[in-house]
Chain A
Amino acid sequence: MKRFASCGLSALAVFAAMTSPALAQDVTITNARLVLGDGGAPIEGGTVIVRGGSVVYAGAAAGAPATGSSVDAGGAWVTPGIFATITSLGLMDVSAVSDSNDTRARGAPFSAALDAATAINPSSQHILVHRAAGITRAATTTVPAGSIFAGQGAIIDLDGDSRAVMQARAFQMVNLGEGGARLAGGSRAAAHTLLRASLREAQALVGASGTPQTTEIVKDDEVLLSRFDAEALVPVVTGRQKLYVAVERAADIRAVLALTSEFPKLDLVLVGVTEGWLVASEIAAAGVPVIANGLIDLPDTFEQLGATQSNAGRLARAGVKVAINAATMKDPRRLQQVAGNLVALTRVPGATGMEWGKAFAAISSVPAEISGMGGKAGVLKPGALGDVVLWDGDPLEVGSVPTRVFIGGVEQSLESHQSGLRNRYRDLDESELPKAYDW
């Protein structure tokens, strides 16, 4: 029964990390193939310096201030942490085990008022597994279940300490595609009416005249909007909270962009947007960022007839700010793989992909900016959070994984339930004791 020498220590480290916030280390990493996350090309022989949990320098070695001890990356790739949006990290253990899954409150009389931050479990195995995959921050949210509104998503870190939530109620999400139509009673028209009615209720709560104040919309025993939901939409209608709108079809995208003529303060973000390439110039003109499905290329629904892997690249080429949507993947660990595939498209005649630096930015600095974390997450530059990842290979190449992960300057354990199984079953030798004693 061979054992990894580090197993016991690692398990302790996991335990320690779960109990209390750790102190940030000062760390200097030199001799890195350094990716800043800003869309640029890697810098050979780069240096990153983190002090007090924040980046104080990232760039060529020549410009780096002198520091004490340092980590020689030996030419390895070093990047900012990946920023995953949109996810359910921390909101479930096993998606099909409903008792362990907090993503959908189908039976609740609330929708927009739901606050994901109240349900985040920092010790979730999914957080541990995804941290080991280089994701250091994420936007996480409940999903529309009882009404068209998902509720209010949170920005979290993945360091597993007691304070996962960086920003509660960072955004509201609403579905105005087929899913929203179904939830609103069976028509996109109903979904749009419900959205407008809900926003007008919210306006009424802050004193707008000429609007009704029923503050409850019900159908049979289904509450489509409660007073608390209307209150939760006040920051949306006043532009203090972003409104993420999930849509796929070109016509639905146009209908969303038109909302600002009625509700001029809406701070819109489009999510999904399979047919975005058909209306790319309109999205660009509206200045609305997109969290786009990366590789969806099948007409899975009638709102995705124009699906192509070139969607994200074509949107970006049209001047749209594009992040990659983690929600259409098997799990957010695949963000790097999807970004790598976008690079692959640059070599396919007729396709539109992204250059390496832009593709990496689409899973780091761009989703961070869309999430209100611009300059803080997904990027290495002075003042940014000290989220630094060292990789065993090209981080967009499939199969590459982190060798070390720092979040806010704190080195993270890369252990999880999965690594425990990996270590136990490295061999199948039970000649002395059952496998249950191998831990």
Chain B
Amino acid sequence: MIPEFRLRARTGVLATLASALALTACATTGSAGETGSARSDDKTFAARIESEGVFASTYKAYPGIATALKGATVFDGRGGRIENGVVFFSGGKIVAVGGPDTPIPADIAVFDGTGKFVTPGIIDIHSHLGDYPSPGVDAHSDGNEATSPTTPEVWAEHSIWPQDPGFTRALANGGITALQILPGSANLMGGRSVTLKNVPGRTMQQMKFPGAPHGFKMACGENPKRVYGSRGRMPSTRMGNLAVNRDTWFDAIDYANDQASGKGVKRDLGKETLVGVLKGEILVHNHCYRADEMALVMDMAKEMGYKVTAFHHAVEAYKIGDLLRANDVCSAIWADWYGFKMESYDGIMENAAYLHQAGACVVIHSDDQDDIQRLNQEARKAQKAGLRLGIDISDATVIQWITFNAAKAMGIEAMTGSLEPGKMADVVLWNGDPLSVYSRPEKVWIDGALMFDALDPKRRPVSDFELGQPGEGDVK
């Protein structure tokens, strides 16, 4: 009811988990045999290794028809803008993007986009849909394994409830076609994230983005030290945060070296995640608000030999745009959140514009089941804050913040995030300028399949949870 309610609720969630400490889940070893031993035979047993496919995506694109959108203003997601453009997709892929003379075959579906806009599908790099689903009851609180400050062994995809109605709102109101679901920030090392296609599924695997790398969620600052310090255990300070992180990395490096030298190391889920980070196969997404802490984390990454892909929340990124550019680290940020906790006290609306000016990578994110429905509007706020100071950032670049830049930081930019031939036909047709408060998605295609149509009441998803409830199938 009051803004802090929701924040308090998150805190409350943590407190509830704290009382469940007795149930500490520390079974990281399992009985999985030895890394590299390929198959079971009569005498030995071996779990599959990741490269053989575990919890593999079963996502398949739904049927679509060859479609051309003509006459709209097109933002291609790479900073390009085409007036009176043509976007043609077929077989689930973008075939052609260009001006009014772009050739398209006869006998395909053609939508008149006059007065409308086309963008790539919007991508949210920071969401908890599915692992903190609606309704937000305690029984659904599956986003923080807050029983140990380092839980690199947990995977967010194992918490996801595909029936979260939030996915449907993100699609219909936000044009979201792909999103990264992260563990929460109670822990220094929260676990692996997963990237989803925003297509309803009966199982998580049906939503899992094929070929997307895992991410690794880390958190610095107030949350870990508060959660664990309040229980009288390490870390209770920021220096404790760094110490626990560094010791954990040392162990992971030893594990990786033992593995590489052919020693028969016992499989360890957490270490496998950390080794994946060291090898560059898993991308680090680090929740971090303060500039000084981001600088420390970047030095820690250098010490250990891994790379931070993106700082999330990063409300003070504007203070170190030069450092972030030099280290090639993206900042995934809100437009206007500030002041709700001490480390957010210096949040300003100019954050994105200052980062852009410094040549650093900008991504606008939500971390919120409501804001994910309006990433386009949040991006506009950030753009306008810059414009007021004479930092003129084009609309097409601003769209890139919520499409290609997000895809790049999630490691899926070769597949989606922009309207380029050969890429997935993840496309939004907006009923007006997507950077205006007055515009909404009219149609959303994912891999060329029409998954939402504002003009067709049946072409919108309704989760199992909402069947038979008041407002089933309502516009929402």
Contact = CB atoms under 8 A, between A and B. Distances in A.
A418 interface: yes
A418 B338 CA distance: 10
Given A96-B340, A297-B173, A306-B469, A398 B3 contact: no
Interface in B373-411: 373-374, 377, 380-381, 383-385, 388-389
B413 to A, nearest CB: 27
Interface in A80-116: 86, 88, 92-97, 101, 103
Given A299-B469, A348-B475, A399 B380 contact: yes
Contacts of A327: 1-3
Contacts of B345: 94, 417
B471 A103 contact: no
A399 B470 CA distance: 34
A179 B1 contact: yes
A398 B436 contact: yes
A271 B474 contact: no
Contact of B475 (A175, A309, A398): A309
Interface residues of A, number: 69
Contact of B339 (A94, A302, A337): A94
Contact residues of B: prevailing secondary structure: loop
B126 to A, nearest CB: 15
Given A96-B7, A297-B476, A88 B2 contact: yes
Contacts of B337: 330
B55 interface: no
B358 interface: yes
A308 B466 contact: no
Given A88-B2, A94-B340, A421-B348, A428 B370 contact: no
A85 to B, nearest CB: 12
Contacts of A341: 374, 377, 437
Contacts of B114: none
Interface string A200-230: 0000000000000000000000000000000
A333 interface: yes
Interface centre among B340, B383, B457, by most A CB within 10 Å? B340
B7 to A, nearest CB: 6
Contacts of B136: 300-301
Nearest to A428: B322
Given A298-B370, A349-B454, A143 B2 contact: yes
A388 interface: no
Contacts of B137: 301-302
Contact of B438 (A296, A347, A351): A347
B261 to A, nearest CB: 45
Size category, B interface: 35 or more
B465 A344 contact: no
B336 interface: yes
B381 A399 contact: yes
A3 to B, nearest CB: 13
A428 B338 CA distance: 21
A364 interface: no
B440 interface: yes
B431 interface: yes
Contacts of A92: 4
Given A298-B370, A309-B476, A349-B454, A278 B380 contact: no
A341 B286 CA distance: 32
B321 interface: yes
A423 to B, nearest CB: 9
Contacts, number: 186
Contacts of A305: 466, 469-471
Interface centre among A88, A343, A399, by most B CB within 10 Å? A399
Contacts of B354: 425-426
Contacts of B169: 297-298
A398 B381 CA distance: 6
Contacts of B106: none
A418 B348 CA distance: 6
B473 to A, nearest CB: 10
A349 to B, nearest CB: 6
A330 B3 contact: yes
B437 A392 contact: no
A106 to B, nearest CB: 11
A337 B437 contact: yes
Contacts of A398: 377, 380-381, 384, 435-437
Contacts of A86: 1-2
Interface string A390-416: 001000111111000000000000000
Contacts of B11: 96
Contacts of A331: 3, 336, 338-339
A88 B1 CA distance: 11
A301 B340 contact: no
A295 interface: yes
A5 B438 CA distance: 36
Interface in A281-314: 295-302, 304-310
Contact of A350 (B344, B369, B373, B475): B475
B134 A422 contact: no
B256 interface: no
A48 to B, nearest CB: 24
Nearest to B338: A418
Contacts of B377: 337, 341, 398
Interface string A38-72: 00000000000000000000000000000000000
A343 B438 contact: yes
A426 B339 CA distance: 21
B348 A396 contact: no
A231 interface: no
A341 B376 CA distance: 12
A425 B346 CA distance: 11
B305 interface: no
B470 to A, nearest CB: 4
A340 interface: yes
B3 A95 contact: yes
Interface in B415-436: 431-432, 435-436
Contacts of A299: 134-135, 165, 465-466, 469
A147 interface: no
B23 interface: no
A143 B389 CA distance: 38
Contacts of B439: 344
5 contacts: A95-B7, A297-B373, A298-B369, A306-B471, A347-B431
Interface of B: 1-5, 7, 11, 134-137, 165-166, 169, 173, 222, 318-322, 336-342, 344-350, 354, 358, 369-371, 373-374, 377, 380-381, 383-385, 388-389, 431-432, 435-440, 454-455, 457, 465-466, 469-471, 474-476
Given A327-B3, A341-B377, A425-B348, 15 more contacts: A94-B342, A272-B1, A278-B470, A297-B169, A298-B166, A306-B474, A308-B475, A337-B437, A344-B439, A348-B440, A350-B474, A399-B384, A418-B348, A422-B348, A422-B349
